[in-house]
A and B are shown apart, each in its own frame.
Chain A
Amino acid sequence: MDAAASASPGFSQRLQRVQVAATVAMTTKARAMRALGIDVIALTIGEPDFATPRHAIEAGYQAALAGQTKYPPQDGLPVLKQAVQKKFARENGLDFALDQIMVGNGGKQVIFDALMATVDEGDEVVVPAPYWGAYPLMTKLLGAKPVFVNCPQNNGFKLRPEDLDAAITPRTKWVILNFPNNPTGAACTREEMAALGEVMLRHPHVWIMSDDMYEHLLYEGEYVTMAQAEPRLRDRTLTISGVSKTYAMTGWRIGFCGGPQPLIRAMVNMQGQATAGVSSVGQAAAAAALEGPQEVVAECVAAYRRRRDLVLTALQAAPGISCHKPQGAFYVYPNVAGCLGKTTPAGTRIDSDQDFTLALLEEKHVAVVHGGAFGMSPYLRISYATNDAALAEACKRIVEFCTSLS
């Protein structure tokens, strides 16, 4: 029996509100072509190409060998929660008690827990666009309504306070902030964050979810999170981070957060029903990553900055593309408006950013994700979390592709 013909129990309405992430779909397509022997360069995934730091690796295997392999507490192992507590104090100037901290199976689960514990049918969640697709999909999955606020390119893809203000209604439960941003790489200065904080102070019924997963991947300026920029918002702000991006630890699945204790309690209750605790070995490794030497982070950041500049420089030669210079994360988000309406050598007409990405994959074997998947077209998201040689080759192919359009 094949997949299409197999039986189905009749799915829930909530499931029908969710689709497979475009990032995943594009990655799968690239993988399938590669399996056919085609030399595909995939720039689709938000995953560091570096190895997990040495000391984290050692802590992980020592935990495994020492038998730290029992059910961990649902809110996280004390050793990791203490490391997270110190991290928030050291890096973000935020003081959390241990019962204001919890650990999830990746930052994704932390966000899911928070939304699932708090949103009801009809509640609104303000999501600045471009956005990580998981925010609106989870919101819809849980019966709430995502409300998008455009962050235009001419404002550096940043959220304007007046636009945020206009998006808030009496039904707004959350505002999600994600700077440095996936997919644009845009980051906020302290002043910009404080200005957004001013808006939030005027709406005391709204909670703030600050997804700081890319906080360390910042190439210009100083990082500041909302609870730090506007301490008066601390009692309704959830500050989320993790080890995936900072320490190249995606596969270990460790995300964490700090926030008001009643919210954290509700989230732990929710997670207790979904997955219970998180891999104990992963937690030991994450604690070591947070507590150990931090030079590896600076090394990665230097490499990412170099790659960002490499991509920006290379894409300048691509006719029809204009690329904003991002301050952080490991993505660029070039505008492809100048390529629309044109035709590829193979005869494909490019009418949208999705047409562009499909043709680029077919004809030049470079996989990137179209901006529509992140709520703003016509753009591409290019992840530069891959080695310099592959990046240079991919950019060369993109330039050739754009040059060949007529």
Chain B
Amino acid sequence: LPLVFRLDRVPRFARVPSKAAENNIPMELIAERLNRISPSLTIAMTSKARALKAAGRDVIGLAAGEPDFDTPDNVKQAAVRAIMSGETKYTDVAGTLPLRKAVAEKFRRDSGIDYKPEEIIISTGGKQVIFNAMLATLNQGDEAIIPTPCWVSYPDIVSLADGKPVLIPCEQNNGFRLRAEALEAAITARTKWFILNNPCNPTGAAYSAEDLRPICDVLLRHPDVWIFADDIYEKLAYDGFKPATIVEVEPRLKDRTITMNGCSKAYAMTGWRIGFCGGPAQLIKAMDKLQSQSTSNTSSVSQAAAIEALTGQQESIREMAEVYRQRRDLVVEMLNAAPGITCHKPEGAFYVFPAIYGCIGKTSRGGAKITDDESFTVALLEEEGVAAVHGAAFVYPGHFRISYATSTEALREACTRIQRFCQGLR
């Protein structure tokens, strides 16, 4: 595991080329803060795959972070009704009252947490909830603790808001879960936020109520630390695993926790752009104020659709989850049969995050030297037409991410190709 430990010491933001430099944006035009965003490695991979596809190559894309299912029909119909009945005007910046009530009901029903409508805000995707929370609270030098592997937007948004991301690597041999002692060790007097993504993108690792208990105990000992619980993949957990959320496990943390969720993953509604959260009224009010100056409300039509998603039939979630489970099992089994790869079987989300340590130092059939996770995914794409994202894109080299939100046949073919690729390594 040497890669993991090295990462702990190397400040990632010092060594990556800035987004601005990557895009040839003149320095005198842009704000200093733009230099703090790292280049999107996911997008780089996606464009490479697109170019190969355009050139006529048979490429299987496993890079996307969105469900391949369609938005459920009842939700679409609700949107059509909203459109036809003229729900096309500005709404309250924080979202319509009926939607905030539906969200309150969702938190009560799923997690036993009581939020009043004024403790809830609706935003343009879960991403904006994070953006609002960080911009509303972080000053220069404030720290936000982020377990890695992580969705790269967390450190980027923290940096944009003048904060300092503090990264804690979570090893595969612990199921990519955060150890309470590692959290305890990372907290300093400057710690403002602890961000926990459960289930996690990109590892699929999830925390039950029991798993969260020791983490909550650490947080109880540090009353100045606020908690951002990103539960966007909550509904995507398998084999009866129930991901818990912080406030559900420890109600005494409620007055310093943001509980975030949304419609994108659970209801296959990525394009509708609906994220939301519950939290202490004062912080919600601050986030509302920020949102009123950056975007105002999210689409009124999408808000109407979200009400139906949250309050209508929930059967489609179970159907999707069952399909995801079968795909996960298929992918984990096939990847573990590929020489040099070890793939942990995660509890949730729709990703696996296999390690490729056994492949490093070898050479592919096409003559590519596999020196790290990036050269692995590039060679895999060029030689076998399989597009995945390398671990560095999630601040965790030595692995790659596969999204199994694609058809079972495509997955089987992709895994066969990965096996062939690994067998060809010398």
Contacts and interface: CB of A to CB of B under 8 A. Distances in A.
A68 interface: yes
A166 interface: no
Contacts of A13: 139
B29 A282 contact: no
B241 interface: no
B363 interface: no
A69 B270 CA distance: 7
B283 A9 contact: yes
A251 B29 contact: no
A276 B293 contact: no
A64 B136 contact: no
Nearest to A272: B40
Given A45-B90, A105-B298, A72 B79 contact: no
A399 B185 CA distance: 69
Nearest to A46: B90
Contact of A15 (B91, B131, B156, B289): B289
A277 B128 CA distance: 11
B29 A275 contact: no
Interface string A40-56: 00000101000110000
Contact of A251 (B76, B88, B286): B88
B80 A64 contact: yes
Contacts of B71: 64, 67, 69
Nearest to A284: B271
Interface in B130-185: 131, 135-139, 153, 156-157, 160-162
Interface string B19-43: 1100111100111111001001000
B299 interface: yes
Contact of A3 (B70, B84, B282): B282
Interface string A342-371: 000000000000000000000000000000
Given A18-B290, A69-B270, A276 B125 contact: yes
B289 A109 contact: no
Contact of A61 (B83, B127, B273): B83
A43 B20 CA distance: 44
Nearest to A10: B137
B89 A6 contact: no
Interface residues of B, number: 80
Contacts of A69: 70-71, 76, 268-272
Nearest to B300: A251
A36 interface: no
Given A9-B256, A57-B83, A105-B124, A252 B300 contact: yes
Contacts of A64: 71, 76, 79-80, 83, 301, 305
B299 A273 contact: no
A21 interface: yes
B54 to A, nearest CB: 14
B138 A12 contact: yes
Nearest to A4: B282
Nearest to A275: B124
Contacts of B135: 12, 14-15
Contact of A60 (B34, B83, B160): B83
B31 A116 contact: yes
> Which of A8, A60, A274 neighbours the largest number of chain B CB atoms within 10 Å of its CB?
A274
B188 interface: no
B289 A18 contact: yes
Nearest to A283: B271
A273 B157 contact: yes
B67 to A, nearest CB: 9
Interface stretch (A87-95, A134-142, A213-221, A225-233): A134-142
B302 interface: yes
A117 B37 CA distance: 11
Nearest to A274: B131
B240 interface: no
Contact of B88 (A14, A15, A250, A266): A250
Given A20-B289, A117-B34, A275-B124, 15 more contacts: A10-B192, A60-B301, A64-B301, A65-B76, A69-B271, A70-B66, A108-B294, A112-B293, A141-B290, A251-B90, A272-B40, A273-B127, A277-B273, A281-B79, A282-B302
Contacts of B290: 15, 18, 141
A281 B292 contact: no
A18 B30 contact: no
B289 A120 contact: no
B31 A118 contact: yes
A8 B280 contact: yes
A51 B80 contact: no
Nearest to A116: B31
Given A8-B286, A253-B296, A71 B30 contact: no
Nearest to A262: B25
Interface in A197-254: 207, 248-253
Contacts of B295: 104-106, 108-109, 112, 253, 274-275
Given A64-B76, A108-B296, A262-B29, A252 B270 contact: no
